[in-house]
Structures are given as C-alpha cells and as structure tokens.
Amino acid sequence: MRAVMQALGYLRQLIKRSALIGLARRPGLLLCLLCYLSPIAAAKLQASSTQSLHVAVYIDGAQHRRQVESLFRRFNEHHSDIELTTAVHRGIDSYANKVEKWMSTGAGPDLVYWYGGKRIAQFAELGKITDLQDFWQRHELDNYITSASKQAVNFRGRAHAIPAATLLWALHYNKQQLEQWQLEPPETWQDLLRSCKILRARGIDALAFGSRTQWSTHAWFDYINLRLHGLDFYQQLLDGNISFTDARVLSSLEHWKQLLDAECFNQNHANLTIWESFPRVVLGKSAFSLCEGLPQFVRLPPGIDIEVSNFPRINDKHPLYTVHPTNVFMVPSYVSWSPALETLLLYIASEEFQRAFSSTLVRVPAHTGAVRGQNKVNTEVAKLFYASPGGIQFLDRDSDIRFSSETPKIFVNFMQHRNVKQTAAELEDLRTNVFGPLEKHPQTSKPKQNPTKHQS
C-alpha cells in the first residue's frame, strides 16, 4: 500500500508542474497515466511483501550438494512470496566455528542445519534456539516423525528442532562374499569371534576399519558398552557420573581387546580412513564394516549386494540399542517467527523433502513415509532404525566435547598397545579433568560446554 501511495504522490508532483497543468483537466489522459504507473506501484508492493529467509546447510560431497540446492530451489519455485537463500558449507570444523559465531553474536541464518542430542539440548538450555513444541503440535508432527528422531530434538519434554536424517551405525557386509564363505552375519559376540577365526585362517579380515579417522573408534566403544551394560549405564558414564576404572568399563575394553587379539581387524587400519577401508568389503578382503553407510565414491560392481545387520548381542538382558546420530534443522532465537518461516519448516518436515534429502546418502529420514522409494540399503537401514528400542547419538554428541575430543587418540593407542588398565586410567584422568572428582560432581551442576564442536 505504501508503494501505491508513493506512486500517487509522484503523480501529484507531476500534475503540479506547469507543463502538466492541463493534464489535470483531461481525465482520459490522466487515466492512461495512472494505468502506466500502476504496474510500477504493484511491483513495488510485491517487493515490499516478499520475505527473505536464509538457510545454512553442511553438505556431504558434490552429489549431496546438488540435491540440497535442488530441494531449496524447488521451494522457491512454489513460494514466490518467499525469497530463500541457501548457503552450503564444507569442512565440519569451519562450519562448527560459523555456528558458534552465529549463536554467540545473535546474527546469522534463519535456519541452521546442526546435530541432535545434547548439542541441541545445550543450545536450548542457553536460550540460543527457538522452542518448536507449539509448531510441532499445531501440525501434528508426532503422527509421522519417529519417536527416536523426536528424542534427538527434545529438551525438557519439548521439541527444539526439526529432525531431518539419521545415520545408523551398523554392520555392513558383502552378501555374495558371505555366502561364498558359508557365513552368516553374527548375531552374538561368540558368532563374531568364530567368524574372525574362520576368516583369519583363510587370510581374510573379519572387520574393515580405518583408525586414521580417529573419532570412528567411538562407535566400537559405544556399541560394546550398550550391548554389555545397557543404555542407562552408558549415558551415566558419558555424563561423567561413573569412573572409567569401574569394572564394567574394564569389561568393555576387555571385549574390544578380544577382537584385537583374534586379529579381527585389517592390519593396515592405521593407514586408512573409515571410508577408505570400505572397499575392502566390496572386494572381499574384509567381511564386515561397522560404519554409517556406503561412502559416496564407492560404486558397486554388478552382482554385488551390500546388506546391513545389527551389532551382535553380548548380554541377553539388554535390548539391541543403536548408535544413531541425527541431523536436524534449528531456528536460532535471534530470528523472529513469521508465516514464511513456518512454511519453510513445514517443507523441511515434509515427506517430499525428507525422502530427497536422504536419497543421495545412506540416511534414514525422520518422516516415516519418506523411506518409500529409497534404494535397498537405505530401506534396510531404515528398518533397523525404526525397530530400535532407543540408543545414543554418538560418544562425541552425547558427552562433553572437552572429554570426547580427547578420547579418540586414547582409543587409537589402545588398538595398538591393547593395555586395558592403562587405557582405563587415561580415560579416568580425562574424566576427572573435565567433570571433576565424582564426590564433587553432582549431575545437576555440570560445567557449561561448547555445543558446536564435533567430529562425527
């Protein structure tokens, strides 16, 4: 409306000029001039009513980038009243630094792609992100967002982000090779040790691993603890409330040592990243890989099928908890709520967006309907995740980053020297430095931590 008034004001100025005095006495010509100026006023009015939004996304490779840019371009095409700008970022450390800067300065994108679990909870506790529970209930997201995905964005019983995709850590294997070796995916710890022995006799590694990606050692520590001692124990351990010299932690390290002593891992794991080790499974040099999915650069030869299975059971009394880091979209608290922002969040939560966002990667969409039409591996991973009784995000998402940033090198060294007591003592020293002595560390008074640092 203001644009129209400006145009009329401009017209009045013209009329006042001596050269156009006669125009005021000629209604027909005046009407023509108004018709000429109306599109200009309309264009100004439309520009003034268009709302701009900015979304920041961390992407995994060129293929994922093309998919993300295409998805947000499609949003722009269907919402002419919203001008959405997408910034894609590579390099997790530099992206984490940007997120930290946006949150600390109170200026940045309107929507930020980030990590679920305690990384969201920490921002929520500091008042840095918007509570989305009312939005969640208004649009009945509980009807199609998985409960495990909602747990990843929960803080004090309220949703603080929109879950987008989950990376399920599971055993991946070459089905054809396993059949040739007359083996089955291990259902129990003893099955795994037995497979190690059989394969080692044939000169084959049971487990492909790349410890040059040091943080990937967390997955082994995560799963062994979950299988041996359950979820409650492990969450307390990661919160710094249990000593790492506890007999249960020693038992977990002893189980890991059993795999090392049986030469289950490829001997050159220190020279490979977790992704570089995966082709060993495709080529039949290793049987299994505990990982978050197929690397994007891996192209499967015809006739090769990669399938997935749960991490083997150790203690029958505990269910098959999973390690499933979830990535989410959060709204910083410096952003004002608007209909345009609500429209964008609905798009993020939609089946269309979540199916396409996950399709280029082995990711499980949070929307239960979005798994339809996915490739075979994605569908299998989704089945395992949807059947999960619960679990954790990942050690470096579920513990203080000052602790979890130092643990990878301790675990990598453990894989070399295999000294259980030394490793437990190093972890306990680190726990004490970060969380303080147990008797002086009540759970309700933890030191604040920086929620932006992350490796996985």
pLDDT value of residue 18? 40
pLDDT in tens, 74-115: 999 999 999 999 999 988 788 999 999 999 999 999 999 999
What per-residue confidence (pLDDT) applies to 64?
84
Per-range mean pLDDT, top range of 87-101, 197-211, 290-304: 197-211
The per-residue pLDDT for 321 is 95
pTM: 0.81
Q: What is the pLDDT of residue 56?
A: 97
For 89: left if phi > 0, alpha if psi spans -120 to 50, otherwise beta; the answer is: beta
Query: What's the pLDDT tens digit per position in 376-405?
Result: 887 888 889 888 888 999 999 999 889 999
State the Rg of the chain over Cα: 28
Q: What is the C-alpha to C-alpha distance for residues 426 and 420, in angstroms, rounded to an integer?
A: 10
Beta bridge partners of 85: 54
Which pLDDT belongs to residue 92? 79
**Mean pLDDT of all residues belonging to the chain:** 86
Q: How many CA atoms lie within 13 A of 214 on its CB side?
A: 13
In this prediction, residue 88 carries a pLDDT of 93
Residue 141's CB is within 10 A of a number of other CB atoms, namely 22
What is the reported pLDDT for 42?
Answer: 43
Separation between Cα atoms, residue 322 and residue 384, nearest integer Å? 9
> Is residue 221's pLDDT more than 70?
yes
Kindly report, residue by residue over 266-289, the tens digit of the pLDDT: 999 999 999 999 999 999 999 999
What value does the mean pLDDT take over residues 360-381? 80
Pairwise CA distance, residues 418 & 383, whole Å: 35
Amino acid, single-letter form, for residue 396: D
What are the tens digits of pLDDT across the range 225-235?
Answer: 999 999 999 99
Specify the amino acid at residue 83. Answer: E
Alpha-carbon span 194 to 199, nearest angstrom: 9
Reduced to 3 states (helix: H, G, I; strand: E, B; else coil), residue 325 is coil
Q: pLDDT tens-digit profile of 413-423?
A: 999 999 999 99
Q: Confidence class of residue 451 from pLDDT cuts 50, 70 and 90? A: low
Residue range 247-264: average pLDDT?
Answer: 98
Structure confidence at residue 45 (pLDDT): 41
Quick one: tokens of 80?
A: 């002419």
DSSP, collapsed to helix, strand or coil, labels residue 298 as coil
**Which position has the token pair 């879950």?**
163
451, β-bridge pairs = none
Residue 26's pLDDT band (cuts 50, 70, 90): low
Q: What pLDDT sits at residue 382?
A: 87
Over 90: is that where the pLDDT of 252 sits? yes
Q: Residue 397: CB partners within 8 Å, gap ≥ 6? A: 115, 116, 117, 118, 119, 325, 454, 456
Predicted local confidence at residue 175, as pLDDT: 93
pLDDT at 2 over 80: no
